[in-house]
Each structure stands twice: as C-alpha cells, then as structure tokens.
C-alpha cells in the first residue's frame, strides 16, 4: 500500500505569464538592445546554425508561459509537471526564446537541439554545491539558468543520496535539493520543502516556476504527486522510490 503523508492545506500560487514578442528578451538594466547585441547580429546568429549552436540553452518556465504565444510558436517541451522547458539563445547580454520559425531552417530535430542546449548549460555554468541553513543543498550562481541544472543533478555526487534526491525549483533563481538515503530523509525533506516551495512561489509570483516537488534518480526526474483535501495536503511518493526506502 502506498504510504501517504498529510500536511495542512496550502494555496496554489498564481503565476504571471510572459509577454508576446518575436523574440522574448530579458535585458540587463541600463542597456538598450543596440548596445547589448544589435538586431542584425541576433538575426545573423539565428540564420546560421553553426553560429547559433554555441548559444543554445534551455530555461524552465511555469507552464502558463506558453499561453502568451501562438500555438506551437515556441520551441519547447514538457519535462517537469507544471513547467515547460524552452529552447533559448544565451547571448552575452540577453536571453532570447527561440520560435519554431527560427529553427526550421537548421534541419535539426527537437531532440538534437535540446540535447545540445542542455549540454551547453552544463559546460558553461560550472557550479559548486552549497549547504543552506536547513537540510537543503543548492548550487552556486544567481543566474537564470540555475534551475536548468536539474537535467544533470547526478553529475554532482554531493547532491545524491543512496536513493537519489528530492528537489524543487519554486522560482527562476532557486534550486533546493535534499539527498535521500532513507525513509527518514524523505519524510523530513518533504515536511520542510513543501511549505518552503509554497512560500517562495507566493513571495515572488512574477518569477515563480512551480511549487511542485520532484525525485531525481539516475538522471531522470519524477513528480511527487500531491492531492488537495479540506484542511490538509496528501502526497504519494513515486512507486520506485517508495519500494526502495520502505
């Protein structure tokens, strides 16, 4: 029988979606588009895969992000429940979300593009493991690609317990990880991480990604399912994790 744990009820955070644009750009404060990276330069990179390939990256957004774009306009996939993984260009002073029309000329399928982008993030952002003031660990860096590290958490042995790790990415700047080596590790982690993920998504709704929690094991990520009932929350561990620790 699956083991269920209950907590007090929590509110589901509200998320704000992005704005509609040909290329969705995040600009550093104080720079104009021309000062950062000229329009012709961006177009030149997008038109040539050999120039674009080194900039390919992925960002994780709340699932509502895609609602600001036309159907299938963005190049994205769904890896984590409640989120979308978007293919972007990580340019020197901006991050550009790629549209389907931008990549059609490259003659590459989505699997190839996402594999390159995820590898680029791992190679470009060299991070170290840090302990927080609770039982959680995180990775160094306050850039917007820190949450993309969930695709290669296993490359950080200090984050992995005997049974992998439980993690959350409540906002674009926050990644919290608990190594799991026993049932007690899992229960303590969940009791602390669930309300903290809720708090962070509510405090920073503009940059919120998801209050969901996930289990990382052998390079894969699986949702820890939650169920809302009057005055409490119940969750059930992924079957494989449950079998391992109980």
Tell me which of 21-35, 86-100, 202-216 is least confident: 21-35
Residue 242 belongs to what H/E stretch? helix 239-245
Per-residue pLDDT reduced to its tens digit, 204-241: 999 999 999 999 999 999 999 877 677 777 778 999 99
Alpha-helix residue ranges (DSSP H) falling in 59-207: 100-103, 110-124, 183-203
The pLDDT of residue 13 is above 70: no
Tell me which of 45-49, 190-194, 213-217, 229-233 is least confident: 229-233
pLDDT of residue 191: 86
Mean pLDDT of 57-80: 95
pLDDT of residue 40: 53
CB atoms within 10 A of CB 107: 8
Q: Is the dihedral of CA 235, 191, 211, 160 positive or negative?
A: negative
């Amino acid at each position: 029988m699956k083991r269920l744990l209950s907590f007090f009820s929590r509110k589901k955070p509200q998320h704000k979606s992005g704005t509609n644009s040909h290329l969705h750009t995040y600009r550093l404060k104080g720079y104009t588009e021309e000062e950062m990276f000229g329009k012709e330069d961006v177009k030149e990179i997008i038109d040539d895969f050999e120039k674009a390939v080194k900039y390919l990256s992925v960002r994780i957004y709340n699932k509502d992000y895609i609602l600001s774009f036309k159907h299938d306009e963005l190049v994205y996939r769904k890896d984590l429940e409640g989120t979308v993984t978007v293919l972007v260009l990580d340019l020197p002073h901006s991050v550009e979300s790629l549209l389907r029309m931008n990549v059609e000329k490259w003659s590459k399928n989505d699997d190839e593009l996402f594999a390159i982008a995820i590898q680029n993030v791992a190679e470009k952002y060299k991070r170290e493991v840090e302990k927080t003031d609770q039982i959680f660990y995180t990775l160094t860096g306050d850039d917007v690609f820190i949450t993309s590290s969930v695709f290669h958490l296993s490359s950080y042995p200090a984050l992995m317990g005997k049974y992998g790790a439980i993690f959350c990415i409540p906002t674009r700047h926050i990644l919290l990880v608990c190594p799991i080596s026993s049932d007690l590790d899992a229960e303590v982690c969940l009791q602390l991480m669930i309300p903290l993920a809720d708090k962070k998504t509510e405090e920073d709704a503009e940059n919120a990604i998801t209050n969901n929690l996930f289990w990382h094991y052998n390079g894969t990520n699986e949702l820890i399912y939650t169920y809302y009932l009057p005055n409490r929350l119940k969750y059930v561990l992924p079957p494989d994790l449950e079998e391992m620790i109980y």
